Structure 1
Amino acid sequence: MGPQVDPVPSDPALPARADVVIVGGGIIGTSAALYLSQRGVSVVLCEKGHIAGEQSSRNWGWVRKARRDPREIPLVVESLRLWEGLNQAVGAETGFRRTGIVFAAETEAEVARGEAWIELARPYQIEARMVAGAELDRLMPGARWKAALYCPTDGRAEPQKAAPAIAAAARRAGATILTGCAVRGLDRAGGKVAAVVTERGRIACDAVVVAAGAWSRRFLRDVGLTLPQLKVRASVLRTAPIEGAPETALWCGDAAFRKRLDGGYTIANGHVNVVPVVPDSVRFFADYLPALRMGWSDLRLRLDGRFLQEWREAAPVPLDQVSPYEEVRVLDPAPDRRYLAAALASLARQFPAFVGARVLQEWAGLIDVMPDAVPVISPVDAVPGLVVATGFSGHGFGIGPGAGRLVADLVTGAPPLVDPRDFRFSRFSDGSRPRPIAGF
């Protein structure tokens, strides 16, 4: 069972028309709804389950610039600016705090990689540095690493609070928020977006934003579009309040943590994630081969029930029939408890405060990943009126407000928050051969 998310009730009525319909109620979709509504655009957000039911509430809660892929740095810098004023902007607690994040460097190679990233980030005036000795001990008492990459302006927020708070603010700005309302597919007229068909009826619209996370690949396939997206299962636990543990968030190889507002800690394995083998794993093997060759050795391939599940879900379903989105309202995979136990044990060896920590809950989520680990935030030329915002590859929570703002720019034709070229949908079909960048 997933974490307890702040509830957002559904609006009762299905509007007959809106300027924009957003598919997906995670942090990207809710942020896009907020920024569009603030511009006077009429918005309906449709979520098949509940707001932030999937990865937007199941992630680590990190809000970081440190060790970002350089293609994402401009957007995450803007996103941090938005996070800074988000509590005030939405009139609610999102949990955002600037407490810094530390990436341990246990070998000379990791020290060199940290120093290389600092040089890469220097043009963006990011306050990050390598720390060692007394400064490292102040941040992480008792740490015995060679050094660490430290970004003091990075922070944390509460995944179970942030997207619901943003959704409520979007509603106050004029958006309609529909939960338990799956979008089955698109209607087109003259090749352009004309409407969405939901389980509750049709909504005419001029534009549709697909911010459906791990479901985006299937949704777009029914529109005749190929998105080489796969899923990675990531597990997390939370503890009861702990006294004396660091305030600064940490990644140290086999463990990662950040403090929660309630005084407990969110903990995950810093390296290991599970990749369910599904039919699309074969279909997109060539797309992901460069990433595998570059050392994604911490991914554990797993043949489990998802193979048959996705095989059964693949067939198109007529829009007047029950869709897979109604049959599975919330993706709620079982956590990998062995890896979580190993992470907690590692922290207990390094930090006495974690010895005997009481685990309150464990959960898992499915991360929507792309071959180059960079999201798609882009109009789709083949379907005028369609904008896609997905494939955040585990980075979506921290980058969410900025991504939502960029989506609003793309939908309205406003000058974009950042250059969206690296996020274009067409990069997978225009011969660009997108690849991950080693070390990020």
Structure 2
Amino acid sequence: MGLFVEPLPSENRLPSKVDVVVVGGGIVGASAALFLAKRGVKVALCEKGNIAGEQSSRNWGWVRQGQRDPREFPLMIESLRLWERMNEDLESESGFRRAGILFASDSDENIAQNEAWLYEARQHQIDARMVSGSELQRLTPGADKRWKAGLFCATDGRAEPHLATTAIALAARRSGASVLTNCAVRGLELSAGSVSAVITEHGRICCSTVVVAAGAWSRRFLKDLDITLPQLKVLGSVMRTSPVEGGPEAALWSTEFALRKRIDGGYTIANGHASVVSIVPDSFRFFANFWPALRSDFKNLRLRVDDRFIKECSESHHTPPDRISPYERTRVLDPAPDKASLRRTFERLKKAFPVFASATVVQQWAGLIDVTPDAIPVISQVDAVPGLIVATGFSGHGFGIAPGAGRLAADLVRGTPPVVDPTDFRFSRFTDGTRVRPLTGV
């Protein structure tokens, strides 16, 4: 299972009425609830299991501008500003440290891709540069491997997924939000086509606005409202090590492994080129939507048929709100990690970094990542249902950008000027003729 996250006890009483209900207790939902509560909005955060039980505690812990899709630059810049003062604002440890992130390159082709990204980044005053030679060696202490060059973003950082989301949810509670765990939202109630309430497993909460920040569950939740969100799940496997002396402070991405130092002195290790995609009914339904992304990234994905096909078939049927929902039957998505891939990744890491030779594997886990066809999120009103806002589909890039995403969602709820232009994140891009596909980034 994923990293242990200290359980956050639920409120004892279900509020009968609030202004906003946030569905999903991951880092995006918790951030939205915090910004709303701080602005005096009466908000309830409903989580079917535990706060940060799924991908929000299972990700790499990177807080990066580097190699991010240019459409996300403004929102990521705002998020980094929020991360920088987060420990102080939350009065708690999020694990955030500004240590930089390095994307190492072995090939001239990859160097050219990094330089092209760097040109775009400089238009947004992002502090990044190409490094090589002695500077590259200085950023990779303990390594025997010598890369040709690297893209280094010194202002990027790292944080602890198992700490940050809970700290944000606690701050939201202190600001007045009701934080309800083990409280699945079974569906919405509409009046004259607009949101009027949510139906939870414990009862009804009247509200005029709902923010769906349900991660990998968002597609399933919206389907019951006859709203089609093209979203699939990608399995990412991760491991952590015992403390290592003399390893890099900066996080590192390479074609063979990725690493990030943890505040306990160990490292989080993964391989971004070894993701698994289970074939499920939605794989056929959304094949045309995802084909451009699949074609460009096919070598980094492993397609497989497994028990998720039957599982998602059984969960796909509409469940009346007076019946137990799929969200209660599966409180936490806890898939098995790809241990063979992690073993190969760790061996490659030790070969490149002998300093890891004595490190032991403390834990391995996996998470299901909510992916959109263009690999950028949906943070948007849904025109078909007034009062419904969606914040999902972060495509494996959500942890770092979550504070800004939560603030943007809160702006959309209140109708105030948005912190960044939300046009690229609009829900309607999937139906308005927009050419929906990834641009760049990892």
TM class by shorter chain equals over 0.9
CA distance in 1, matches of 2:117, 2:17: 47
Q: 2:233 aligns with which of 231, 234, 243?
A: 231
Q: Letter of the 1:112 partner, please give it.
A: A
Kindly indicate whether residue 250 of structure 2 is the aligned counterpart of residue 248 of structure 1.
Answer: yes
Q: 1:303 aligns with which of 296, 299, 305?
A: 305
CA distance in 2, matches of 1:438, 1:212: 25
CA distance in 2, matches of 1:348, 1:192: 56
1:233/1:365 contact within 8 Å kept: yes
Q: What is aligned with 1:285?
A: 287
Normalised by the size of structure 1, how large is the TM-score?
A: 0.99
- Aligned residue pairs, count: 440
CA distance in 2, matches of 1:222, 1:8: 29
Q: What is aligned with 1:98?
A: 98
Kindly indicate whether residue 157 of structure 2 is the aligned counterpart of residue 152 of structure 1.
Answer: no
Q: Which moved more, 1:289-298 or 1:217-226?
A: 289-298
Q: 2:373 aligns with which of 347, 368, 371?
A: 371
Q: Does the residue aligned with 2:36 lie in a helix, a strand or coil?
A: helix
Q: What is aligned with 1:48?
A: 48
Residues 379-414 of structure 1: CA distance to partner in whole angstroms, max 9, x if unpaired?
Answer: 001100000000000000000000000000000011
Q: Does the residue aligned with 1:419 lie in a helix, a strand or coil?
A: coil
Q: What is aligned with 2:430?
A: 428
Residues 244-293 of structure 1: CA distance to partner in whole angstroms, max 9, x if unpaired?
Answer: 11111000112000000100100001311000110000000000111122
CA distance in 1, matches of 2:2, 2:44: 26
Q: What is aligned with 1:16?
A: 16
Kindly indicate whether residue 436 of structure 2 is the aligned counterpart of residue 409 of structure 1.
Answer: no
CA distance in 2, matches of 1:210, 1:77: 24
2:79/2:404 contact within 8 Å kept: yes
1:176-191 alignment, distance < 5 Å: 176-191=178-193
Residues 308-328 of structure 1: CA distance to partner in whole angstroms, max 9, x if unpaired?
Answer: 000000000110000000000
Q: What is aligned with 1:136?
A: 136
RMSD over aligned CA atoms reads: 0.8
1:269/1:342 contact within 8 Å kept: no
CA distance in 1, matches of 2:145, 2:12: 53
Q: Which moved more, 1:346-355 or 1:42-51?
A: 346-355
CA distance in 1, matches of 2:413, 2:200: 21
Q: Letter of the 1:61 partner, please give it.
A: G
Q: What is aligned with 2:364?
A: 362
Q: Residue 343 of structure 1: CA displacement?
A: 1.1
Q: Residue 190 of structure 1: CA displacement?
A: 0.4
1:211-222 alignment, distance < 5 Å: 211-222=213-224
Normalised by the size of structure 2, how large is the TM-score?
A: 0.99
1:136/1:143 contact within 8 Å kept: no
Q: What is aligned with 1:270?
A: 272
Q: Letter of the 2:44 partner, please give it.
A: V
Q: Residue 6 of structure 1: CA displacement?
A: 2.5
Q: Letter of the 2:152 partner, please give it.
A: Y
Q: What is aligned with 1:115?
A: 115
Q: Letter of the 2:59 partner, please give it.
A: N
Q: Letter of the 1:355 partner, please give it.
A: A
Residues 147-167 of structure 1: CA distance to partner in whole angstroms, max 9, x if unpaired?
Answer: 000001100000000000000
Q: What is aligned with 2:62?
A: 62
Q: Letter of the 1:6 partner, please give it.
A: E
CA distance in 2, matches of 1:6, 1:116: 42
Q: Which runs of 5+ in 2 are unaligned?
A: none
Q: Residue 433 of structure 1: CA displacement?
A: 2.8
CA distance in 2, matches of 1:157, 1:27: 12
Q: Does the residue aligned with 1:297 lie in a helix, a strand or coil?
A: helix
2:67/2:440 contact within 8 Å kept: no
CA distance in 2, matches of 1:90, 1:439: 30
Cα 1:157/1:439, change in 2 over 3 Å = closer
Residues 102-160 of structure 1: CA distance to partner in whole angstroms, max 9, x if unpaired?
Answer: 00111001111111111001111111000000100100134411100000110000000
Q: Does the residue aligned with 2:324 lie in a helix, a strand or coil?
A: coil
2:68/2:441 contact within 8 Å kept: no
Q: Letter of the 1:169 partner, please give it.
A: A
CA distance in 2, matches of 1:64, 1:296: 24
CA distance in 1, matches of 2:382, 2:145: 48
Q: Does the residue aligned with 1:392 lie in a helix, a strand or coil?
A: coil
Residues 209-258 of structure 1: CA distance to partner in whole angstroms, max 9, x if unpaired?
Answer: 00000000000000110000000000000111111111110001120000
Question: Runs of 4+ in structure 1 displaced over 4 angstroms?
Answer: none
CA distance in 1, matches of 2:272, 2:390: 29
Percent identity over the alignment is: 64
Residues 177-229 of structure 1: CA distance to partner in whole angstroms, max 9, x if unpaired?
Answer: 00000000000000000000000000000100000000000000001100000
2:236/2:368 contact within 8 Å kept: yes
Residues 343-377 of structure 1: CA distance to partner in whole angstroms, max 9, x if unpaired?
Answer: 11111011111113111100000000000001000
Residues 18-74 of structure 1: CA distance to partner in whole angstroms, max 9, x if unpaired?
Answer: 000000000000000000000000000000000000000000000000000011111
2:239/2:362 contact within 8 Å kept: yes
Q: Letter of the 2:136 partner, please give it.
A: L
CA distance in 2, matches of 1:139, 1:323: 49
1:371/1:436 contact within 8 Å kept: yes
Q: What is aligned with 2:317?
A: 315
1:344/1:354 contact within 8 Å kept: no
